[in-house]
Amino acid sequence: MALDLTAIEAVAFDMDGVLWRADQVLPGVPALFEFLQGEGIPYAFVTNNSTRRVEAYVERLRGLGIPARPEQVITSAVATADYISRRYAPETPVYIIGEDGIRSALAERGFREDARNAQLVVVGLDFAVTFEKFKTATLLIRSGADFIGTNGDRTFPTPEGLVPGNGALLALLQTATDVKPVVVGKPEPVMFEVALQRLGSVAERTLMVGDRIETDIAGALRAGWRAALVLTGTTTREQALADGRAEAIFDSLATLQSAWEAARR
Ligand SMILES: [Mg+2]
């Protein structure tokens, strides 16, 4: 099915490889957002990164000239906190492995950390993870605590190269406990459900714009969304065509905007 842009009523953007790459802003930013605002099309930003606070993203987006409010930024930490607050009472004691992003998202919803009595183990990427933390998490999960991961990315990109991502931390705990975690981030459906709620939209009229087929595109299509791949990030046109899952491929946000404007004329 070809992508019909006239049917799209809301849109979610992956950030790295779509809006920017390292320190470089990508073509079509911020003009696309002027277009979306002019057309009254709501938008949000989604990222599997659970380490940073929403405010850090809002600041970066605004710095690039993209109008952004905190509720439009959905990190896997925020989506995890949304997911947990819909299923557990706010007093539920939790044990957290992770950085400030997931800690602040859970604290804002009233969850308190209690390593002794935790009924819930939440694991996000933690740059200071230790054997002691893995031990505590393992013992809690083995005694029946629920096990939730912010995202399953196997690697995390750094200037030095790819280092272990949260999926690697989850794999260690899964091996130690024989328990499979509930994972929230893309390509899992939870992240897309949270984004739909924030956008006030329905799946079949919502577009995901991303640069990774495995997470952004496959996850969106599985959730019933429409999807557009941009070639400004990790995927080349050759790879996209060989893979075959991307229903619409654009060189950049600028070409997506041209196609969208032409479709609405
Ligand atoms: Mg990306």
- Structure confidence by residue, pLDDT tens digits, 184-205: 999 999 999 999 999 999 999 9
Q: Is the CATH number of domain 89-183 3.40.50.1000? A: yes
> What is the Å distance from ligand 1's center to 235 Cα?
10
**Which residues are in the CB-under-5-Å shell of ion ligand 1?**
14, 16-17, 211, 233
> What is the Å distance from ligand 1's center to 253 Cα?
13
* Catalytic residue list: 14, 16
> What is the Å distance from ligand 1's center to 164 Cα?
17
d(CA 246, CA 228): 7
Q: Into which CATH architecture does domain 5-48+186-264 fall?
A: 3-Layer(aba) Sandwich (3.40)
Q: In the 8-state DSSP scheme, what is residue 16? A: B
Q: 180-213 b/e with 16+ CB inside 10 Å = b?
A: ebebbbbbbebbbbbbbebbebeeebbbbbbbbb
Query: Quick check: 240 pLDDT over 60?
Result: yes
Q: What is the mean pLDDT of residues 212-231?
A: 97
Cα-Cα-Cα-Cα dihedral sign, residues 52, 55, 61, 64: negative
Q: What is the mean pLDDT of residues 58-71?
A: 96
Please state the domain extents for the chain: 5-48+186-264, 89-183
- Structure confidence by residue, pLDDT tens digits, 6-44: 999 999 999 999 999 988 999 999 999 999 999 999 999
pTM of the model: 0.93
Cα-Cα-Cα-Cα dihedral sign, residues 217, 221, 224, 230: positive
CB atoms within 10 A of CB 70: 11
> What is the Å distance from ligand 1's center to 61 Cα?
15
Fold match flag (5-48+186-264 vs 89-183): yes
The structure tokens 């957290």 sit at 96
What's at 160, amino acid-wise?
Answer: E
What pLDDT is recorded for position 148? 98
What pLDDT is recorded for position 157? 85
